[in-house]
Chain A
Amino acid sequence: MERLKAIIVKEAWALLRDPRARITLFVPPLVQLLLFSFAATLEVKNADVGFLDLSGGVQSVEILRRLDASNNFDEVRRLRSYEELKSAIDRQEIIAAIVFDQQFDRSVLSSDPATLGVILDGRRINAAQIVSRYISEVASSVGMEATSARTMHQPSIARSWFNPNLDFIWFNIPALACIIVSVSALSITAQSVARERELGTFDQLMVSPLRVHEILIGKIIPPFLVAVLAGMVFVVAAPIYGVPFTGSILLFVLGLSFYALALGGFGMFVSSLSTTQQQAFLGSFVLTVPIVLLSGFAAPIANMPEWLQPLTYIIPARYFLEMSLGIFLKDMPLSDVLGLLWPLVLLAIATLGASAWLFRARME
């Protein structure tokens, strides 16, 4: 017990006293929190669009007025010719151009179908699709009002549970809790053994009566605590961003703990494999990128190709992302949390076991 306590205390101090470790501890998470939470939005706001109005009527003006009024669009710019349209799109000055043909005004009022041409920049395909939808919505509502068309079928009522206004920050905060914890936990644990190897203190550790599992536990607990603390920061920060926390804090801490352990296991594995800090850095980088990209944070796992999806089963972030979103926004019950928890437990056991074995094997 004394031995275990000694190494835990030592690792904790090593983390807090080394100015370089402090950098990894605080700066990247803060920068990510600030940048990510605001920058990472897949909504489209303030898009610039152009229009080429050959109709000279009122209906086109009404559509443009509504577009201009929406905060989805910033500038709605008049284009004088097809050439100007082409060059504006080519140069990415506008993401979309709306073309009203000569008959547009007349057609809207008559029963002939009126066609609105929208040309979009396929280079930014995601934003272009969203812009296209905004334009369609505006155009059809103007069309309906103009003809005061009666309809047998009302459009469906769309509602979103858990996030009624589909506010992006409601997604970002729980998701960032997952991503930032993974980046910190990995980079801290990845350095721990590698640094001792490079500085020569690892031998000192190995000739002491400390057993491998004691070293392992001692090394994993401080980054574990840092990760759990970092995760909890998001729970505390949620109200500041106006994000609700509907679930049980206890469940969140439970999930977070096993997530941190699994990540620590991966980091420790990389660290035991590396002889220098540079290798450890590269290793944790090579690992962090897929963990972030395949977690479902940037794009849903269901959209990935069949052959890639099984790979996500060994990505701890996959399970915790779902848990974090669920507990923050959906008041996820224990039974669902447990279903996501056991893979994390397995991953933690597997990676920590492998690191313990590598510890000794790499001594020779």
Chain B
Amino acid sequence: MGETVASIRDLTMRFGGAEDDALKGIDLAVETGQITGLVGPDGAGKTTLIRILANLLPPTEGSVVVLGGEPGTNRFDLGYMPQRFGLYEDLSVIENLTLYARMRGLPQSEWDAAFTRLLDFTDLARFKSRLGGKLSGGMKQKLGLACALVRTPKLLLLDEPSVGVDPVSRRELWAMVEQLVDEGIGVLWSTAYLDEAEQCEVVYLLNKGELLFAGNPSNLTDEVAGRVAVVTGFEGRRRELLTRMLDRDDVIDGTLQGRSIRLLFDRPAANDAVVLDLDDGSQVEPARPRFEDGFINRLGGGPDGTSELARRYRMIDGGDGCAIEAKGLTKRFGDFTAADNMDFAIPYGKIYGLLGPNGAGKSTTFKMLCGLLTPTEGSGAVAGHDLRTAGPEARRSLGYMAQKFSLYGDLSVRQNLNFFAGAYGLSRGEARNAIDSTIEVFDLGGDLNRSAGEMPLGYKQRLSLACAVMHQPPVLFLDEPTSGVDPVARREFWTHINGLVEKGATVLVTTHFMEEAEYCDDISLIYRSQLIAQGTPDELKRRAQVVAPRLQAPTMEDAFIALVEDRDAAVEKAA
């Protein structure tokens, strides 16, 4: 056991004007030599807790001890990385480091050693003089960490360091922090990624300001031991089967994994195809529970399988044509080629994923296909309408959901709905029906007059989806649609999407959640502006095993990383 570097007892935090306490009776301890995880849905109080430890907010009640004193007594030994990394975008990498070195009182004689170590550690040495604002998301995050570490702290507070960062960078970051822990510092890591939480020694699970769980993640996982099963070898459509399974009373959660379906039961799993009413070839096997299963279980299970939204959606009969087509799409900015010769065709009724590290060119490709960027070369079409010659028709047949919440935060929920109904040219009667139905499906009735910006993130995301599909488009564009939302909301979101696809809609999605990639029928992996692999999730996993034989039963994330690394190796060899 390490030394306790931060401890909280019976902490309550109340903001003036707020009805509920932001934090209620929290007990927490951070010890050196391990990563302490802080997990919870958006708005659970994670940031507030970290800010109290960083002496940025005074607690309302309770005792807080940081590095042996009140918060703020020993700021030299505290490293803090806020959500937006705290970098100055108009300072270069080395200037940011120098600034933090001075601010933390690192003696000048130690600068060279510290900077060399950190730049090496973060692999940023090549970009020493690049401005902070010009770095990619992953690089910013590493620089933010380097700045927090410039004078080796005893306590490191990381507030959602991995939001919006691709799997490769995420893994590198985790490895870096683990190395620090071995050097004897204490780390508090707040995250919405449950696979990260699973790797922590101690996890604190927050929900609505309350502590739901504290302890080793396996304790939570043990609660659902024997209740998880995987179904494989079934005939027919996997989404339809998932819906059926989720609608069962004894199934509280279910996810797609390529051609298999993973189920969480509220009782010991029924490992029998007959009990589950499956067809003959199906096999049901018990599976090892994950932290996420325990989490969902604690939150009372995920949503049912049938999407009311999809039930009311029109049937889309696209015939044999392609819903989305990219032919040699290329985009250059000056000398820089952001997307090079993208080629794919997506039939109706499929989910297509664009995956790739930050800055690889997937956003550029995505934006060309929904008409936000004009391609330098090549052409794209949506629902048979060429983007160059029939832009407005193409735009009318697509629904778009942006990466961050991009509805009008100052407008009320109803005003947002009215606007999007009108913007997509629904007639008065159509609009009224569409809006009424949307309000029912998404249960927005109670919040119609609230400003959209004040709603919790989960609701915002529902509203975004509602606005994007109000005109019942045949094609949906989703740009990291569930970034930052909690697993339950993410399940609900995918239930709707699965339902819509069953009705014949087509979905193009970019994501950093590899679990979401599993929902895709087909995936394009984009790296360094090029399309490096294409195929179903299972195909990609097999490909990964070919290039990296050490992998056994690779996850989508493993496959992603292996394929990207293989590409790097090939490029190096060629050079």
Contacts and interface: CB of A to CB of B under 8 A. Distances in A.
Q: Indicate if A touches B (C-beta under 8 A).
A: yes
Interface of A: 2-3, 5-7, 9-10, 13-14, 17-18, 21, 199-201, 203-211, 363-364
Contacts of B396: 209
A200 B408 contact: no
B230 interface: no
A207 B418 CA distance: 17
A208 B451 CA distance: 22
Interface in B333-387: 333, 367, 370-374
B402 to A, nearest CB: 6
Contacts of A210: 423
Given A2-B427, A203-B372, A363-B372, A10 B398 contact: no
B428 interface: yes
A6 B419 contact: yes
Interface stretch (B167-175, B287-295, B409-417, B486-494): B409-417
A364 B364 CA distance: 10
Given A17-B411, A17-B412, A200-B406, A209 B422 contact: no
Contacts of B425: 2-3, 209
Interface residues of B, number: 39
Given A204-B406, A209-B393, 10 more contacts: A7-B419, A7-B422, A10-B419, A199-B406, A203-B372, A204-B402, A207-B372, A207-B477, A210-B423, A211-B392
Contact of A207 (B370, B419, B426): B370
Contacts of A206: 371-372
Contacts of B419: 6-7, 9-10
A145 B385 CA distance: 94
Contacts of B392: 209, 211
A336 to B, nearest CB: 42
Contacts of B420: 6, 208
B410 A14 contact: yes
Given A13-B415, A14-B410, A201-B406, A6 B423 contact: yes
Nearest to A1: B425
Contacts of B406: 199-201, 203-204
Chain A interface, >50% SS class? helix
A17 B424 CA distance: 23
B407 A201 contact: yes
Kindly name the residue among A7, A10, A204 whose own CB sees the greatest number of chain B CB atoms within 10 A: A204
A178 B566 CA distance: 67
A209 B423 contact: yes
B395 interface: yes
B81 to A, nearest CB: 24
A3 B404 CA distance: 24
A10 to B, nearest CB: 4
Kindly name the residue among B404, B406, B420 whose own CB sees the greatest number of chain A CB atoms within 10 A: B406
A61 B404 CA distance: 80
Closest 8 CB pairs of A and B: A6-B422, A10-B419, A18-B410, A209-B396, A200-B406, A207-B400, A208-B423, A209-B395
16 contacts: A2-B428, A3-B423, A6-B421, A9-B415, A9-B418, A10-B408, A10-B415, A10-B418, A10-B423, A13-B410, A17-B412, A21-B410, A200-B404, A203-B406, A207-B400, A208-B423
A364 B373 contact: yes
A266 to B, nearest CB: 24
A277 to B, nearest CB: 14
Contact of A10 (B372, B411, B424): B411
B418 A6 contact: yes
Interface of B: 333, 367, 370-374, 392-393, 395-396, 398, 400, 402-412, 415, 418-428, 431, 451, 477
B431 A2 contact: yes
B418 A203 contact: no
Contacts of A6: 418-423
Given A17-B451, A207-B371, A208-B395, A2 B411 contact: no
Contacts of A199: 406, 409
B477 A201 contact: no
A169 B429 CA distance: 53
A135 B379 CA distance: 82
Contact of A363 (B373, B400, B428): B373
B422 A14 contact: no
Contacts of B423: 3, 6-7, 10, 205, 208-210
Contact of A5 (B393, B409, B422): B422
Nearest to B399: A207
B408 A201 contact: yes
A14 B400 contact: no
Kindly name the residue among A7, A205, A208, A209 whose own CB sees the greatest number of chain B CB atoms within 10 A: A208
Nearest to B468: A204
Contacts of A14: 408, 410-411
Contacts of A21: 410
Contact of A13 (B400, B407, B411): B411
B403 to A, nearest CB: 8
B52 to A, nearest CB: 29
Contacts of A209: 392-393, 395-396, 423-425
B360 to A, nearest CB: 19
B422 A207 contact: no
B413 to A, nearest CB: 12
Contacts of A18: 410
Contacts of B427: 2
A200 B404 CA distance: 8
Nearest to B421: A6
B344 to A, nearest CB: 20
Contacts of A203: 367, 372, 400, 402, 406
A242 to B, nearest CB: 40
Nearest to B392: A209
Contacts of B370: 207
A272 to B, nearest CB: 16
Nearest to B398: A207
Contacts of A17: 410-412, 415, 451
A22 to B, nearest CB: 10
A163 to B, nearest CB: 44
B414 to A, nearest CB: 10
Contacts of A204: 400, 402, 406-407
A3 B392 CA distance: 12
Kindly name the residue among B374, B410, B411, B421 whose own CB sees the greatest number of chain A CB atoms within 10 A: B410
Nearest to A20: B410
A26 to B, nearest CB: 16
B462 to A, nearest CB: 16
Kindly name the residue among A3, A7, A13, A209 whose own CB sees the greatest number of chain B CB atoms within 10 A: A209
B435 to A, nearest CB: 12
A200 B460 CA distance: 14
A206 to B, nearest CB: 6
Contacts of B424: 3, 208-209
Contacts of A201: 406-408
Contacts of B415: 9-10, 13, 17
Contacts of A200: 402-406
A209 B393 CA distance: 7
A194 to B, nearest CB: 15
A157 to B, nearest CB: 61
A205 B372 CA distance: 10
A17 B409 CA distance: 10
Nearest to B410: A18
A112 B197 CA distance: 106
Nearest to B411: A13
Contacts of A5: 422
Contacts of B395: 207-209
Given A17-B412, A206-B371, A364-B374, A9 B404 contact: no
Nearest to B406: A200
Contacts of A207: 370-372, 395, 398, 400, 477
Given A207-B477, A363-B373, A2 B426 contact: yes
Nearest to B397: A209
Nearest to B428: A2
A211 B371 CA distance: 12
